[in-house]
Structure 1
Amino acid sequence: RKMRKEYDAAYALLQPSRRNYKKAIAAFRKFLEKYPQGDLTDNALYWLGETYYVTQDNASALASFDELLQRFPGSEKVPGALLKKGYVLQAMGRKAEAKKVFERLVAEYPDASVARMARTRLKQLK
């Protein structure tokens, strides 16, 4: 399927052997323009946010994670997006907001693998 191929091509740009964040950002943005409501839109938003975070474009990372959380509240990417949103807020010096996001993650998804990481961050923020 064409949509899957385009998603896989964008995702491949994040792999260690081909790592090119600039191209990955462009590819995910193009994918999101083309497939704003596709089956992989939530995943693309997550990886776009992740890529912005890695490249220290915190404002864009925050916008991507927020869009995922607002538009796809039932997505399997929600716990990860909450964790990364907390990381981004912490990196921006917005510790009180980060704490709230980590607390929400732990409360709503206590068994998610990322909840453990959120608990660790919460201890650091105390």
Structure 2
Amino acid sequence: PAGPAADPQSLYNAAYNDYLRGKYDLAFQGFDEYLKNFPGTDLADNATYWIGECFYRQRRYRQAVDQFEAVLSRYPRSDKSASALLKKGYALIELGDRTQGVAQLRQVVRQYPTSDEANLARQRLRELGVDAG
């Protein structure tokens, strides 16, 4: 490799395209490189989120939870907050922590009631036989 990509957008786009093609290890490397080289940019929260999605897709749920939590703690106003909270809930349920997973899904419904993520959370709660409230 010739060092960091010339611009953040190219590096981000390449990593995202790897994710879309199911090349999660490559996508992780790209997003990780993005965060190392461009930590304060507008897409840092998205890169952090997509690393979590890479872990989730690889069934590495503990690492996914950590990444989704990083989105929520480092970037509280991120446009990825609702998605991070939702996927954190899903990952916790996959890890067998139903109580915490359900709590996260309920928080999605409370904090983002009209979002697509809230609808997905309600659906998952119904599947689990749990009340959304």
Q: TM-score, normalised by structure 1?
A: 0.93
Q: Structure 2 CA distance, aligned partners of 1:31 and 1:124?
A: 37
Q: Which residue of 1 aligns with 2:108?
A: 105
**Matches of residues 78-117 of structure 1 in structure 2 within 5 Å?**
78-117=81-120
Q: Which residue of 2 aligns with 1:28?
A: 31
Q: Which residue of 1 aligns with 2:54?
A: 51
Q: Which residue of 2 aligns with 1:3?
A: 8
Across the two proteins, how many residue pairs are aligned to each other? 124
Q: Which residue of 1 aligns with 2:20?
A: 15
Q: Structure 2 CA distance, aligned partners of 1:82 and 1:39?
A: 20
Root-mean-square deviation (CA, aligned residues, Å) is 1.2
State which of 37, 42, 46 in structure 2 corresponds to 1:39: 42
Structure 1 residue runs without a partner (length 5+): none
Q: TM-score, normalised by structure 2?
A: 0.88
Percent of aligned pairs with the same residue?
35
Which consecutive aligned stretches of 4+ in structure 1 deviate over 4 angstroms post-superposition? none
Q: Note the C-alpha offset of 1:89.
A: 0.3
Matched, 1:75 2:78: yes
Q: Secondary structure at the match of 1:37?
A: coil
